[in-house]
Amino acid sequence: MKNYTELLGKYNVNNIFILGAGPSLYFNMQEPFFKELSKYGLIISVNSAILAGEPHFWISNDSLCMRWSWWKNVKKSKCIKIVRNSWLKYKDDIRDFYIFKPRNTPEDVIDFEEKNLCYPCSVSSAIDLSIQLKCKNIFVLGLDHKLTEDKHHFWQYFKNQPRQLKPAQAKWDVQKSVFPIHLKSYKALRGFAEYKNCKIYNCNSDSKVEIFEKIKFKDVEKIINGR
């Protein structure tokens, strides 16, 4: 099984777009610029965000992904797939995937020289990977930590929604109970990004996550072009 570190140093990009799965991603998808993201950098999809289109990378901490109907989209995708080492018990299903180990430090601590990934959630892992890929700007979409129109995932706006093939998704109260741990990791990752001269943007100005600079999605193109 290949280690994700084999990917480091192979890409020379200024921008990385991380697609989280919050409701705001659906509205980003309606914008013409969303379809052009791959022209400006790498796209990393997190978990069910694979439904937003073909990315360059897909990453996950959570092997419960395999219990969803969209798992077939992951398997069919030609993108680079990266999962936590806890997935190794399913190695027959992930033969062409890359593996990462969780960092040895607590959620709120980053060892700047360690070559593992932050682990509290898949978005944390994606941000850590992006920093290690040495980009200048990280734009995180779908990082909401809130309900929108009583929806917690972008695909709840779809006419044909994905299905759980086996129980996989916790209720919203359980989902949001771990957000404080996620926030600890985001704060640590912000410090790591600053150390690496990288800027992280939260592309939902209405997000509950205040740690990263919040912008509107329509401003992404302006930042990329230096306007």
Of the candidates 120, 125, 155, the residue with the CA atom closest to the CA atom of residue 140: 125
The encoded tokens of residue 36 equal: 């052009």
In terms of residues, how long is the chain?
A: 227
Dist CA 11 CA 159 (whole Å): 37
Query: Quick one: which H or E segment has residue 173?
Result: helix 172-177
* Residue 5: half-sphere exposure toward Cβ, Cα within 13 Å: 8
What would the pLDDT profile of 71-98 be if each residue is shown by its tens digit? 999 999 999 999 999 999 999 999 999 9
Please list the residues that pair with 100 across neighbouring strands. Answer: 84
| Cβ pair 46, 122 in contact under 8 A | yes
Q: How far apart are CA 45 and CA 42, in angstroms?
A: 10
Q: What are phi and psi of 185, to 5 degrees?
A: -70, -35
Write the CATH number of the domain with boundaries 2-224. 3.90.1480
At 1 the pLDDT is: 82
Q: Taking the CA atoms of the chain, what radius of gyration do you get in angstroms? A: 16
Is a pLDDT exceeding 90 seen at residue 205? yes
pLDDT at 227 over 90: no
CA distance 179 to 193: 20
Average pLDDT along the chain: 97
Under DSSP, the state recorded for 160 is: S
Summarize pLDDT for 110-150 with one digit per residue, the tens. Answer: 999 999 999 999 999 999 999 999 999 999 999 999 999 99
Domain ranges across the chain: 2-224
Q: Please answer whether residues 17 and 42 qualify as being in contact, where contact means their C-beta atoms are separated by less than 8 angstroms.
A: yes
DSSP state of 203: S
pLDDT of 151 > 70? The answer is yes
Q: How far is CA 178 from the centre of its chain?
A: 16
pLDDT in tens, 55-66: 999 999 999 999
